Structure 1
Amino acid sequence: MAVGDVSMPQMHVVKGVKIGSAEAYVRYQNRRDLVIFEFAEGSNVAGIFTQNAFCAAPVHISKAHLLAGNPRYLVINTGNANAGTGKIGMANAEATCAKLAELAGVQNTEVLPFSTGVIGEQLPIDRLVQGLQPALDSLQEDAWLDAATGIMTTDTTPKGASEQFELDGVLYTMTGISKGAGMIRPNMATMLSYVATDAPISRELVQQLLKTTVNLSFNRITVDGDTSTNDSCILIATGQAGGVEITSESDSRYAAVLDVLTRVMKRLAQLIVRDGEGATKFITVAVEGGADTQECCDIAYSIAHSPLVKTAIFASDPNWGRILAAIGYAGVPNLDVKKIQVWLGDIQICKDGGAAADYTEAAGAAEMEKSEITIRVDLGRGSARDTVYTCDLSYDYVKINADYRS
């Protein structure tokens, strides 16, 4: 069961985007497992992908096709990651693009393929290809919920975010979906995300906007510390709502677009953590007072990745010594522990490197009982700060991953 509010909002239509889906029986029965996005001609598309050296065949091909120009179609299957599949996997990903390109009347390089699911098994390419025409036949503007459902694996709920905003009297939309619940950590934290806007934005700025907001969202989440082979995040700007194209950061509209996109991306990223496999608690780890952002992140991730911290939180055990240990082994040089302050919610548990005089076990336990918990750390050595989002580690995480292929 996901933590907190994970409800789907009203998913506003993005002008210039159509979505179709079908049951291709890649792995699952009686559910949509193949999704196609179609963009209006002239749309600008950007992508960021996993840094895992064993990245999947569709990641290799999507990167190459993005370099070749702006794509018109995305094709996403769930149930099979097409990773660790060698030359056959590459051929299957290429065959998927070729068939969709043939059916849609575009070039192969105008199709980006994506896969998610079990690693090391070959795609059932015949079934996947047979599902392409039904998915194309179902293309419509208001199918974001179908798409969010169609890309799920161990997710317990579809994930979406959508906002409308006005620039110079023109109403624009920013809508996106994501999937992911396990094998989640930074460096594209297994997750997929697709966000589209009908605002007119140059291709260079689309890539810049994506990079900036991914670093504030998907690169600030972790469930289990495992970086997937398939992580991908795509941003599309169709320009179909009209207006003059935004080509520079100095354009007054750029800041407004960045603000909306940041909120949408953070919501999609945090939904992944809220739906972390077996999660019962949503945890914010905020580190401030650092000499630079990197050391704030190093300490935040050290806490967020710690199985001892995560299991203590699952058990509502205020064993705050585990937090101090995680701070200490984060590898930050010349860390003066006598300057460190730590809070659990509003309760200070560590003052100047030792137990806070007014801290009580009962107060700590009461904070740990909450479903949403904030751990705040002040390093006392600078003005940098950063925040990472994670969840607890429960019995169900082990059960889900032990039974994943059964």
Structure 2
Amino acid sequence: MPVHLAAPNPADLHPVPGVEIGITQAGIRKANRRDLSVFRLVAGSSVAGVFTKNRFCAAPVQLSRAHLATGSIRALVINTGNANAGTGADGLKRASEVCQAVAGLLGVHAEQVLPFSTGVIMETLPSERLIAGLPAAVADLKTDQWAVAAEAIMTTDTLPKGTSRQVQIGGRTVTVTGISKGAGMIHPNMATMLGYVATDAVIDPALLQPLLNDVADLSFNRITIDGDTSTNDSFILMATHQAGHAPITALDSAEGQILREAVLAVSQHLAQAIVRDGEGATKFITIRIDGGQSVEECAKAGYAIAHSPLVKTAFFASDPNLGRILAAVGYAGIDDLDQNLIDLHLDDVHVVREGGRHPAYQEADGQRVMKQSEITIRIDLHRGQATTTLWTCDLSHDYVTINADYRS
């Protein structure tokens, strides 16, 4: 069961002026489920993207990168059930054919369409089914379909993931709405996820990619479930420029910061929702590393903890075997780390002081915290002023079961 996560109320996912979404059943892998979505963006929209750093990236990732580089994007096409990864030249050809079909239906160029796929790796994309389903998806285009689209991009997710924020900029209401999917093969750079966030803010197009990079590093690049980096990860930020306020020309302006905080809030909610819905997860764990010499150093320590199977299984069992956390920090790759400076807190319980067990620590206190469904680990390295926070989950029997049966 997801950890303190509920499906979004469709009424709470505000339409974004300039974005229409159509969904249909194309029979890509399973019958009688929505598995194909089309986003249509108003002319003049701006789009930025960040993608997996897995060198064995999927055909749609390769094509989306190439299409983004050409400029104006007018549509997205997303399928679940098949990742179109590990499919070689044939996969690229099929993804391109789908883009061409979308372009023909919408009256745009194929290079203005971004394709996305998620699902099983190393199986041929049934592009003929996608193409046959596209007319129904296009006929279904509406502005209020974010909740349905959130369901249509799911794979092993147990719940759809979506959220909205509205803020005031220049006396106008600006909307930021997003959806994501992901539950397994989650690791930053990116995590196995698809994320789509749209806003009607009027922003200099040159600022969209820096904004996305900043937000991704504080959201989707701060989550991990199992340490596996997917072949298909994509996070897309769209701006339709329809809100009617004066253009935002600097991210460090008051208006730029208002928009940044709204986009960050949406993105962090979506990223944390992926962890809360992690395959087999029973605990949602926040890891905060303070006192590093750099953010990168803090992240090393944080991910060493978050990726450790020994740590994750201990949390599943509510076993306060907390020396495993210290061991993970020790092998994180901080070569000149002084273990005699480290402090460790588990929520409000001071477990380690100056590298050793706190005199007042009692195992019963640690177990009390570990039985909770939401837990915070705080490590202070006492080396500097840098800090970072990331989110992970425990590792349960169900994780093995889900992935053993993934293709059945």
TM bucket by the smaller chain? over 0.9
1:33-48 matched pairs, under 5 angstroms: 33-48=35-50
1:337 aligns with 2:344: no
* 8 A Cα contact 2:3 2:276, kept in partner: yes
Matched position secondary structure for 2:372: coil
Uncovered stretches (5+) of structure 1, i.e. residues with no partner? none
* 8 A Cα contact 1:41 1:72, kept in partner: yes
CA separation in 2, counterparts of 1:250 and 1:212? Answer: 12
**Offset of residue 251 of structure 1:** 3.3
Q: Which amino acid aligns with 2:294?
A: D
* 8 A Cα contact 1:342 1:348, kept in partner: yes
The residue aligned with 2:259 is 257
Match of 2:113 among 98, 111, 115: 111
The residue aligned with 1:327 is 329
* 8 A Cα contact 1:6 1:274, kept in partner: no
1:315 aligns with 2:302: no
Matched position secondary structure for 1:188: coil
The CA deviation string for residues 74-96 of structure 1, in whole angstroms up to 9 with x for no partner, is 00000000000011101000000
1:72-91 matched pairs, under 5 angstroms: 72-91=74-93
1:389 aligns with 2:391: yes
Match of 2:150 among 142, 148, 153: 148
* 8 A Cα contact 2:178 2:266, kept in partner: yes
The CA deviation string for residues 123-180 of structure 1, in whole angstroms up to 9 with x for no partner, is 1111111010100000000000010000000000000010111112101100000000
Q: Which amino acid aligns with 2:157?
A: D
**Offset of residue 17 of structure 1:** 0.4
Q: Which amino acid aligns with 2:283?
A: K
Uncovered stretches (5+) of structure 2, i.e. residues with no partner? none
Aligned-pair Cα RMSD in Å: 0.8
The residue aligned with 2:174 is 172
CA separation in 2, counterparts of 1:117 and 1:82? Answer: 8
The CA deviation string for residues 16-67 of structure 1, in whole angstroms up to 9 with x for no partner, is 0000000001001111000110110000110000000000000010001001
Structure 1 residue runs of 4 or more that deviate by more than 3 Å after TM superposition: none
The residue aligned with 2:301 is 299
CA separation in 2, counterparts of 1:62 and 1:94? Answer: 10
* 8 A Cα contact 2:251 2:260, kept in partner: no
CA separation in 1, counterparts of 2:170 and 2:359? Answer: 55
CA separation in 1, counterparts of 2:106 and 2:87? Answer: 27
The residue aligned with 1:61 is 63
| TM-score, normalization by structure 1 | 0.99
The residue aligned with 1:50 is 52
* 8 A Cα contact 2:292 2:382, kept in partner: yes
CA separation in 1, counterparts of 2:89 and 2:265? Answer: 40
1:123 aligns with 2:125: yes
* 8 A Cα contact 1:218 1:266, kept in partner: yes
CA separation in 2, counterparts of 1:297 and 1:224? Answer: 16
**Offset of residue 250 of structure 1:** 4.6
Match of 1:229 among 231, 234, 244: 231
The residue aligned with 1:4 is 4
Identity level (%): 57
The residue aligned with 2:136 is 134
| TM-score, normalization by structure 2 | 0.98
Match of 1:200 among 198, 202, 211: 202
Q: Which amino acid aligns with 2:391?
A: Y
* 8 A Cα contact 1:21 1:146, kept in partner: yes
* 8 A Cα contact 2:171 2:245, kept in partner: no
CA separation in 2, counterparts of 1:247 and 1:68? Answer: 22
* 8 A Cα contact 2:5 2:277, kept in partner: no
* 8 A Cα contact 2:170 2:246, kept in partner: no
Q: Which amino acid aligns with 2:295?
A: T
CA separation in 2, counterparts of 1:89 and 1:5? Answer: 35
